[in-house]
């Protein structure tokens, strides 16, 4: 699927979610690239939080 199809799917998904009147949508593992950030902006995301996780493999 190309980026145009991805945007269409994202917009359609958000349109369907709107009927449930969500107060928050979370994108886990969001990419931090100019293209991805543009997608988030175009689809209406207006906030960003950067989290740093520490882990240790045993």
Over residues 36-55, the pLDDT tens digits come to 888 888 878 888 887 777 88
State the pTM of this model.
0.52
Q: How confident is the model at residue 30 (pLDDT cuts 50, 70, 90)?
A: confident
pLDDT at 3 over 70: no
Average pLDDT over residues 12-39: 82
Q: In 3D, which of 8, 56, 50, 3 has the Cα closest to residue 29?
A: 50
pLDDT at 6 over 70: no
Separation between Cα atoms, residue 7 and residue 39, nearest integer Å = 7
């Amino acid at each position: 699927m190309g980026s145009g199809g991805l945007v269409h799917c994202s917009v359609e998904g958000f349109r369907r979610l709107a009927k449930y009147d969500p107060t928050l949508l979370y994108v886990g593992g969001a990419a931090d690239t100019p293209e991805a950030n543009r997608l988030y902006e175009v689809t209406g995301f207006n906030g960003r939080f950067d989290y740093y996780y520490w882990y240790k493999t045993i």
